[in-house]
């Protein structure tokens, strides 16, 4: 069917109706109805007068893994559960009614799932009239006194409006009165109790700026679109109770202005709110009956109530409607209660019901697609074809979206959790819809007549009636009164009783009087014509004056329009910039946050660095302390070992010498025994080793002044008593230096080699030891010690001090060479001379321990290379 329609009506280029390119977005309002029961779960919250928030019901959240979050939707305005019908009307429908009265079209539809309050919003209930009865009331409150007589305006069945003359209109009225038994006067207020109190008188409101110099008429139609068929709900069909005829569907046509209309649809002229609502209610009843008879569900149909307002200027007298079809203006307001927007799955319908449901969805789907394409075309500048023709609803209203009037939508929502998923879809559609813009309707051109005609005419009529009443008192009608007055203003007729055919007296007198009257009349006519002409010219002059003024006003209006356009452009620019600045602000915000995070990082890293540095410092100082402690330990140990070594060396030396001496002594005794008698008084000899060596003579040359203390040129044997006794051990190998630098210890027992006897008598011991230093000088050391008694009854010496004296070697350098060679003598035994190596032969080992807490550390091991005994 749709395809046929497509084929029949070839696409014409869209009409250039307006030079206006100002656009307004589709006004989308949201109304939240109260919950049906207090214990129902709620999933909607009104968070401001433009925004609502949806939150997934608990069960759903669990099912979907928390996939659903809270979502917000913004609209031109949000009406909460406490909103009254009046408040909603004031905001949503009142501007549309004002537009209607000012010759502009409007489309208002309610959208939402079944039970969300669409019908409540559009129609309402007694005491709570909806947008429809309120709109009707406002229309009649505004144009009430300026309505044309019935049948003056007459629809031409091609979506146009004709104007009938008074006589034809009167004849039509008489025909209607005789045909219908319907009481013609609605003043009786015999209102159907079903819709009584739809509008309370105190809510009455009216539009401003109604043109009084026009005449108005209201026509209403009521159609239902079910299963993509259009039915006329006001069609008068003879009812056949036996075999009820199924209603005939209507088709859509395009008029000469390319506006869509339902062909052959009943348009009922109504003169009051009550009458109009009565007609609506008649349609409503018919709809209900049809639904029951055909087993249909009303929630699956779209209902469209169309209010047409015809208006035409009054003629120049301000008395009658101007008989010019081109001056008739028709505007219309469509009030649409759409079918429930729920998906097919929600209906438990089967068979044909399912098909219907599918179709309903299809038509809403088409509406959705159209809106989407429109939006895309507008936003992206594309020129995609909008599929209006795919469904009757969109096809019927295509002109609105192409810029033929204001479009508003009330999205109804039930906050109950069961509806959540469908409400979500409704919200998405609604939000998208408000991104579509439709052209703003233009103002009606001004007709050429002066304003205030109706009032002047009325005032004239009032004045005339008043005057006539003053002069002639109560009379039977307008015309006879005027005639009487005119007759009275003529000179009286003479008596005209004619005596006979030849009455020469009366007839001439009568002729004369009549002639006189004729002359007066002629004069009066002339006078009247003169005055009329004068008045006419004055009026014409004034008319042209007014016309030029009106032209001027028109011009100014045009300029104003341009200025408006400019302002609009600037506003758009401001909007754009504001958006941009918001975007930038957002970016700055993000950057600020990032910076903060980095700074925080930096601070924490710095903090860590500081703490690490502190730890390092601590460890370093710890290390230093350890080092110094270790150094101390090492020096201590070194000193101790040095002393110990010295002591041991000396002891060993002494012991060895002692042994040597004892052996020598034994040998001597043996020799003495052998050579008894020859050498009775022989003194004990030195060890043979030393015998080879010639005791050095004292050098004749004086030695250099010695360095060091405790050296005095004293006698060898001095008896100056001291508290202690010394064993003065001077090996016979010593060179007699013959200097004043000879240690002289009083009261000492001098020995070449230490013996037990001598030691047992003394408590101090001194060894005079000579050696050649590296510079060739002879070094004399006085090695002092203390004598102890050992447990075994022997004697031991513990060395306590070393004094060093230096003197030039009196023996030539060769002797020192000789001595050196003797250091490694044939017996391999080192001489005493190198025992000082002890001091120097200290090796240091470095050892680093891995994993030590103290870090790299040193441990000093001092080894003293021991001399072989």
334 binds, among ligand ADP, Mg ion, none (CB under 5 to 8 A by kind): none
Q: Which residues bind ligand ADP (CB under 6 A)?
A: 33-34, 112, 114-120, 299, 340, 412
Query: Encoding tokens for residue 88?
Result: 């909603």
Angle at 79 between CA 76 and CA 80, to 5 degrees: 145
Residue closer to ligand ADP by CB (options 34, 746) is 34
Helix (H, G, I), strand (E, B) or coil at 122: helix
Least Cβ distance, residue 299 to Mg ion (angstroms): 6
User: Distance between CA atoms of 93 and 774, rounded to whole angstroms?
Assistant: 128
- The DSSP letter of residue 717 is S
Residue closer to Mg ion by CB (options 340, 743) is 340
Query: Encoding tokens for residue 105?
Result: 């079209």
DSSP assignment of 250-261: E-EEE-TTS-EE
The 3-class secondary structure across 804-820, one letter per residue, is EEEEECCCCHHHHHHHH
Query: Encoding tokens for residue 528?
Result: 């009247």
User: Distance between CA atoms of 235 and 229, rounded to whole angstroms?
Assistant: 15
CB 846 within 8 A of CB 627: no
415 binds, among ligand ADP, Mg ion, none (CB under 5 to 8 A by kind): none
Residue closer to ligand ADP by CB (options 86, 517) is 86
- Count the alpha carbons within 13 Å of 621 in the hemisphere toward its beta carbon: 5
CB 334 within 8 A of CB 305: yes
810 binds, among Mg ion, ligand ADP, none (CB under 5 to 8 A by kind): none
112 binds, among Mg ion, ligand ADP, none (CB under 5 to 8 A by kind): ligand ADP
Least Cβ distance, residue 257 to ligand ADP (angstroms): 33
Least Cβ distance, residue 450 to Mg ion (angstroms): 49
Residue closer to Mg ion by CB (options 118, 784) is 118
Least Cβ distance, residue 188 to ligand ADP (angstroms): 30
228 binds, among Mg ion, ligand ADP, none (CB under 5 to 8 A by kind): none
Residue carrying the six token digits 């004598």: 787
> What element of type H or E holds 408?
strand 405-413
* CB-based contacts of 223, cutoff 8 Å, min separation 6: 230, 231, 232, 233, 250, 262, 265, 303, 304, 306
Least Cβ distance, residue 78 to ligand ADP (angstroms): 13
Dmax of the chain from CA atoms? 251
Which among 227, 296, 297, 158 has a CA at the least distance from the CA of 2?
Answer: 227
260 binds, among ligand ADP, Mg ion, none (CB under 5 to 8 A by kind): none
* CB-based contacts of 462, cutoff 8 Å, min separation 6: none
How many Å from the N-terminal Cα to the C-terminal Cα in the chain?
136
- Residues of span 642-661 touching Mg ion by CB under 5 A: none
Residue closer to ligand ADP by CB (options 116, 363) is 116
Residue closer to Mg ion by CB (options 121, 650) is 121
Least Cβ distance, residue 34 to ligand ADP (angstroms): 5
33 binds, among ligand ADP, Mg ion, none (CB under 5 to 8 A by kind): ligand ADP
Query: Encoding tokens for residue 401?
Result: 């979206």
Residue closer to ligand ADP by CB (options 45, 665) is 45
Residue closer to ligand ADP by CB (options 223, 268) is 223
Least Cβ distance, residue 342 to ligand ADP (angstroms): 10
Least Cβ distance, residue 260 to Mg ion (angstroms): 24
116 binds, among Mg ion, ligand ADP, none (CB under 5 to 8 A by kind): ligand ADP
Q: Give the other-Cβ count within 10 Å of 282's Cβ.
A: 16
CB 123 within 8 A of CB 337: yes
Residue closer to ligand ADP by CB (options 142, 347) is 347
Residue closer to ligand ADP by CB (options 116, 864) is 116
Give the residue closest to Mg ion by C-beta. Answer: 119
Number of residues that bind Mg ion (CB under 5 A): 2
Least Cβ distance, residue 411 to ligand ADP (angstroms): 11
Residue closer to ligand ADP by CB (options 34, 95) is 34
- The DSSP letter of residue 775 is T
- The DSSP letter of residue 145 is G
34 binds, among ligand ADP, Mg ion, none (CB under 5 to 8 A by kind): ligand ADP
- Count the alpha carbons within 13 Å of 264 in the hemisphere toward its beta carbon: 9
Residue closer to Mg ion by CB (options 151, 280) is 280
Least Cβ distance, residue 340 to ligand ADP (angstroms): 6
CA 103 to chain CA mean position, Å:
44
Q: Give the other-Cβ count within 10 Å of 505's Cβ.
A: 10
Least Cβ distance, residue 427 to ligand ADP (angstroms): 15
862 binds, among ligand ADP, Mg ion, none (CB under 5 to 8 A by kind): none
Which among 783, 696, 687, 701 has a CA at the least distance from the CA of 740?
Answer: 701
> What element of type H or E holds 394?
helix 392-396
Least Cβ distance, residue 567 to ligand ADP (angstroms): 38
CB 268 within 8 A of CB 219: yes
Relative orientation angle of helices 85-92 and 131-143, to the nearest 10 degrees = 60
Residue closer to ligand ADP by CB (options 247, 340) is 340
Q: Sheet containing 44-46: give its strands across.
A: 44-46, 51-54, 71-74
Least Cβ distance, residue 301 to ligand ADP (angstroms): 11
Buried b (16+ CB within 10 A) or exposed e, 401-429: bbbbbbbbbbbbbbbbbebbbbbbebbeb
Residue closer to ligand ADP by CB (options 164, 299) is 299
Least Cβ distance, residue 423 to ligand ADP (angstroms): 12
User: Distance between CA atoms of 437 and 653, rounded to whole angstroms?
Assistant: 124
Least Cβ distance, residue 29 to ligand ADP (angstroms): 13
Residue closer to Mg ion by CB (options 43, 113) is 113
- Count the alpha carbons within 13 Å of 26 in the hemisphere toward its beta carbon: 28
Q: Binding of Mg ion at residue 730 (CB under 5 A)?
A: no
412 binds, among ligand ADP, Mg ion, none (CB under 5 to 8 A by kind): ligand ADP
Residue closer to Mg ion by CB (options 118, 271) is 118
User: Distance between CA atoms of 99 and 484, rounded to whole angstroms?
Assistant: 50
Residue closer to ligand ADP by CB (options 101, 412) is 412
User: Distance between CA atoms of 809 and 776, rounded to whole angstroms?
Assistant: 7
Least Cβ distance, residue 298 to Mg ion (angstroms): 7
Binding mask 108-147 vs Mg ion (x if CB under 5 A, - otherwise)?
A: ----------xx----------------------------
User: Distance between CA atoms of 60 and 154, rounded to whole angstroms?
Assistant: 58
Give the residue closest to ligand ADP by C-beta. Answer: 117
Least Cβ distance, residue 357 to ligand ADP (angstroms): 14
CB 785 within 8 A of CB 765: yes
Which among 205, 26, 209, 218 has a CA at the least distance from the CA of 102?
Answer: 209
154 binds, among ligand ADP, Mg ion, none (CB under 5 to 8 A by kind): none
User: Distance between CA atoms of 829 and 649, rounded to whole angstroms?
Assistant: 14
Q: Which residues bind Mg ion (CB under 5 A)?
A: 118-119
């Amino acid at each position: 069917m749709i395809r046929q329609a497509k084929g029949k009506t070839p696409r014409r280029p869209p009409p250039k109706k307006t030079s206006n390119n100002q656009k307004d977005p589709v006004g989308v309002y949201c109304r939240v109805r109260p919950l049906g029961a207090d214990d129902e779960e709620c999933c909607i919250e009104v968070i401001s007068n433009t925004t609502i928030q949806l939150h997934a019901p608990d069960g759903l959240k669990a099912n979907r893994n928390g996939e659903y979050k809270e979502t917000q939707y913004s609209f031109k305005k949000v009406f909460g559960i406490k909103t009254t019908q009046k408040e909603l009307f004031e905001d949503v429908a009142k501007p549309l009614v004002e537009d209607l009265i000012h010759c502009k079209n409007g489309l208002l539809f309610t959208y939402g799932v079944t039970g969300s309050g669409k019908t409540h919003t559009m129609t309402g209930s007694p005491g709570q009239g909806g947008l429809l009865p309120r709109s009707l009331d406002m229309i009649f409150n505004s144009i009430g006194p300026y309505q044309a007589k019935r049948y003056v305006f007459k629809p031409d069945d091609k979506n146009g409006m004709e104007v009938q003359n008074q006589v034809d209109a009167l004849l039509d009225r008489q025909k209607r009165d005789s045909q219908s038994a319907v009481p013609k006067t609605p003043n009786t207020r015999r209102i159907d109790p079903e819709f009584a109190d739809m509008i309370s008188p105190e809510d009455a409101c009216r539009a401003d700026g109604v043109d009084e110099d026009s005449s108005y008429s209201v026509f209403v139609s009521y159609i239902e679109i079910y299963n993509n068929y259009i039915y006329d709900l006001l069609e008068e069909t003879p009812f056949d109770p036996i075999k009820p005829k199924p209603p005939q569907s209507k088709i859509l046509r395009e008029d000469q202005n390319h506006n869509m209309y339902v062909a052959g649809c009943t348009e009922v002229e109504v003169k009051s709110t009550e009458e109009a609502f009565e007609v609506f209610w008649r349609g409503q009843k018919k709809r209900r009956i049809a639904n029951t008879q055909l087993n249909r569900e009303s929630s699956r149909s779209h209902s469209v109530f169309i209010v047409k307002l015809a208006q035409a200027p009054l003629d120049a007298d301000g008395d009658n409607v101007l008989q010019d079809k081109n001056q008739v203006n028709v505007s219309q307001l469509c009030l649409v209660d759409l079918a429930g927007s729920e998906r097919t799955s929600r209906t438990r319908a089967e068979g044909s019901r399912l098909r219907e449901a599918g179709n309903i969805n299809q038509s809403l789907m088409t509406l959705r697609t159209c809106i989407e394409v429109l939006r895309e075309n507008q936003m992206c500048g594309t020129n995609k074809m909008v599929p209006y023709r795919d469904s009757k609803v969109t096809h019927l209203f295509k002109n609105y979206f192409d810029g033929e009037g204001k479009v508003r939508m009330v999205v109804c929502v039930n906050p109950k959790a069961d509806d959540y998923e469908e409400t979500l879809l409704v919200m998405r559609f609604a939000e998208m819809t408000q991104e579509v813009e439709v052209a703003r309707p233009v103002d009606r051109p001004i007709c050429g007549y002066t304003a205030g005609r109706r009032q002047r005419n009325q005032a004239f009529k009032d004045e005339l009636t008043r005057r006539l009443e003053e002069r002639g008192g109560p009379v039977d009608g307008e015309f006879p009164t005027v005639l009487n007055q005119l007759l009275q203003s003529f000179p009286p007729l003479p008596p005209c009783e004619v005596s006979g055919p030849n009455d020469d007296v009366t007839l001439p007198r009568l002729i004369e009087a009549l002639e006189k009257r004729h002359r007066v009349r002629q004069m009066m006519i002339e006078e009247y014509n003169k005055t009329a002409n004068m008045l006419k010219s004055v009026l014409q002059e004034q008319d042209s004056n007014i016309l030029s003024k009106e032209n001027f006003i028109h011009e100014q209006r045009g300029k104003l329009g341009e200025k408006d356009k400019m302002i609009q452009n600037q506003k758009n620019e401001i909007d754009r910039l504001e958006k941009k600045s918001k975007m930038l602000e957002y970016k700055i915000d993000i950057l600020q946050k990032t910076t903060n995070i980095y700074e925080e990082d930096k601070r924490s890293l710095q903090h860590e660095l500081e703490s690490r540095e502190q730890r390092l410092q601590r460890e370093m100082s710890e290390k230093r302390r350890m080092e110094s402690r270790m150094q101390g330990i090492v020096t201590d140990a070194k000193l101790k070992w040095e002393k110990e070594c010295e002591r041991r060396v000396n002891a060993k030396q002494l012991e060895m010498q002692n042994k040597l001496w004892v052996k020598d002594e034994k040998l001597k005794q043996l020799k003495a025994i052998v050579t008894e008698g020859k050498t009775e008084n022989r003194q004990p000899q030195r060890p043979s080793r030393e015998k080879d060596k010639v005791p050095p003579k004292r050098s004749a040359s004086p030695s250099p002044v010695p360095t060091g203390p405790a050296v005095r040129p004293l006698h060898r044997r001095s008896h100056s008593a001291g508290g202690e006794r010394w064993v003065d051990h001077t090996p016979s190998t010593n060179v007699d230096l013959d200097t004043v630098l000879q240690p002289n210890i009083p009261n000492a027992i001098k020995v070449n080699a230490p013996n037990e006897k001598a030691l047992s008598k003394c408590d101090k011991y001194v060894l005079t030891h000579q050696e050649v230093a590296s510079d060739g000088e002879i070094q004399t050391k006085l090695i002092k010690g203390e004598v102890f008694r050992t447990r075994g009854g022997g004697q031991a010496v513990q060395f306590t001090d070393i004094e060093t004296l230096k003197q030039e070697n009196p023996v030539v350098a060769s002797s020192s060479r000789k001595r050196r060679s003797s250091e490694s003598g044939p017996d391999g035994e080192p001489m005493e001379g190198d025992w000082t190596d002890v001091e120097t032969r200290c090796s240091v080992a470095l050892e680093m321990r891995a994993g030590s807490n103290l870090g790299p550390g040193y441990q000093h091991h001092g080894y003293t290379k021991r001399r072989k005994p």
